[in-house]
Amino acid sequence: AGLSSHSDQLTTLETRLDDVAAANKSLKLQVEDLISRSKRQNICVFGLPEDSETGYPTQFMAELFKEVLNDEAFPNLPELDRAHRSLAPKARPGGRPRPIIVQFHRYKEKELVLRWAREHGEITFQGHKIKFYQDFSSSLVKKWSAFNDIKSTMFKKGIRFGLIYPARLRVTFNGEVHFFENPEAAESYRQHIH
């Protein structure tokens, strides 16, 4: 009777562990989603030298956007909630400067900046090349980078693809569209078609 009782307890514990693991996975996805949503109105600005943001960073960045995008895009200064350097350690002299993270008060203004940057390509400010990107969570960027090898291979083979938010690879081949949740499944498909 003792062995049977231990076996039953072990089965019960395994079931509970599976339930806890499933709940943990669900909670992690929810937290990741909340982090991503909290960054919806953020832009990362790369290429500005350290300590170039004189005075208040929010005022400096608002003036930068107005100057770079010109008066047509922003007849008035854009309203920014926050602006600060990333929390990484400050670079050594000559090193790559930390990006500036800017939170816009209005989503439409943030989208205007990103659209303008895509359309105009290279942007310079006070003699420095700068780039604007949407701010994404590090876990999402890590998921995207897992697809880099397969994307490179598909690009070389002329296969159309794209990343769908949050982290799915969309592949179009011979008029058929396929979606992949992980790079292994995408690689298996690529090997199957070539």
Q: What is the mean pLDDT of the chain?
A: 91
Predicted pLDDT of residue 165: 83
Among 70-74, 104-108, 134-138, 175-179, the range scoring the smallest mean pLDDT is: 70-74
Kindly provide the b/e burial profile for residues 26-46, where b requires at least 16 CB atoms within 10 angstroms of the residue's own CB. Answer: eeeeeebeeebeebebbbbbe
| Whole-angstrom distance, CA of residue 132 vs CA of residue 103 | 12
Three-state secondary-structure class, residue 30: helix
Q: What is the dihedral of CA 59, 60, 61, 67, to 10 degrees?
A: 110
In this prediction, residue 1 carries a pLDDT of 56
Question: Where does residue 57 rank: exposed (0-12), middle (13-18), buried (19+ CB within 10 A)?
Answer: middle
**What are the DSSP calls for 36-85, one per residue?**
HHHTTTEEEEE-PPTT-S-S-HHHHHHHHHHHHHHHHH-SSPPPEEEEEE
For the full predicted model, state whether its pTM sits above 0.85: no
Which pLDDT score is estimated for 12? 92
* Tens-place pLDDT, residues 23-51: 999 999 899 989 989 999 999 999 999 98
Mean pLDDT confidence for 99-115: 95
For residue 3, is pLDDT > 90? no
pLDDT of residue 194: 66
Locus of tokens 């990741």: 32
**Percentage of residues of the chain with pLDDT beyond 70:** 99
pLDDT tens digits, one per residue of 46-71? 999 998 988 899 999 999 999 998 87
Residues of the chain with pLDDT > 90, as a percent, come to: 61
Tokens of 52: 């170039």
Assess contact for 64 and 78: CB atoms under 8 A. no
- For the stretch 146-160, pLDDT in tens is 999 999 988 998 889
- Checking if the pLDDT of 162 tops 70, the result is yes
The gap from C-alpha 167 to its chain's centroid, in whole angstroms, comes to: 10
